[in-house]
Amino acid sequence: MTYSENLWLFSTLLFGIIILPGMDMMFVLANALTRGRAAGLAATGGMMLGGLVHSLYGALGVGLLAKLIPVLFTPLMIAGGLYMAWIGVTLMRSAIIVEDVGHADTRTNWEAFRRGVLTCLINPKAYLFMLAVYPQFLRPDFGPLAPQAAVMAAMTAGMQLAIYGSLALAAGRARRFLIGNGTATIWTGRVCGIMLVVVSGLTLWEGIRG
C-alpha cells in the first residue's frame, strides 16, 4: 500500500466514523437547534480542538512505541487490526437509532465551544478510534511520523468541520433526517462496520506480510 492509498483509506474511514451519530453530533445539533447556527458552529470548533488533542496523543503514543520498542509495533498493529474487526462486526450487528436530539443548556457561544472540547475529549468513540484505527495509518515505513501525524490531524479537523459544520447550518433538516429515518442511521452504522472490517483485513495482511 502506498502512502497516497493509505491517506485515501484513512479519509474514507474517517468520514464513516464521524458521520456515525454519537455524542459529538448530538451536541452540535442541540446547540444549533436551541441557540442558532452560530452556537452550532462554536460547538463544531470545540469538537475540532478536541479532535486535535486526540490526534496529538495518538501520534505521541505511536511515535514512542516505534522509537522505544520497535519490535512490538507489528504485533500491536495486528492486535489493533483484530480489535478493529471486532468493533466493525459489532457495528454491523447493531441498530443505531436517534430518538431525540435533546436541548442544549449552553448560554453563550464560548460555553458551547468549551463544552464542545470537553464532549469530544470524553467521547468513547474517539478513544476507540485512536486505540484501534489511528495506529494502523500512522506508519514508520512511510517516513517520519510527525509530518504524517500533522496531515492526519488536519484531515480530521477538516472532516469534522465539513460534517458537523454542515449539520449546524442545516440543523432543522438534519434533525428530521436523523429522527424520522431510522433506517438511514441503522445502515450508516452497518456500512461503517463493514468499512472497519475491510480495513482491519488490509491491516492484518500488511502485518502478516511484514
- 144 C-beta neighbours (distance < 10 Å), count: 9
pLDDT per position as a tens digit, 114-138: 999 999 998 887 887 777 777 778 8
pLDDT of residue 210: 58
pLDDT of residue 45: 96
For range 154-173, the mean pLDDT: 89
**Of the candidates 122, 137, 153, which has an alpha carbon nearest to the alpha carbon of residue 22?**
122
pLDDT of residue 116: 93
For range 129-153, the mean pLDDT: 83
Does the pLDDT value for residue 157 go beyond 80? yes
pLDDT per position as a tens digit, 16-66: 888 887 888 888 988 888 888 899 999 999 999 999 999 888 888 777 776
pLDDT of residue 207: 64
Q: Where are the domains of the chain?
A: 3-209
35: phi then psi, degrees, rounded to nearest 5: -125, 5
**Of the candidates 73, 74, 83, which has an alpha carbon nearest to the alpha carbon of residue 197?**
83
pLDDT of residue 62: 76
**Of the candidates 90, 161, 169, 120, which has an alpha carbon nearest to the alpha carbon of residue 22?**
120
pLDDT of residue 101: 67
Does the pLDDT value for residue 184 go beyond 90? no
pLDDT band per the 50, 70, 90 thresholds, residue 142: confident
pTM of the model: 0.80
C-alpha span between 156 and 51 (Å, rounded): 7
C-alpha span between 171 and 27 (Å, rounded): 11
Can you give the C-alpha Rg of the chain in angstroms?
18
pLDDT of residue 97: 66
pLDDT of residue 99: 66
Average pLDDT of the residues of the chain: 82
Q: Which residue do the cell numbers 474517517 mark?
A: 14
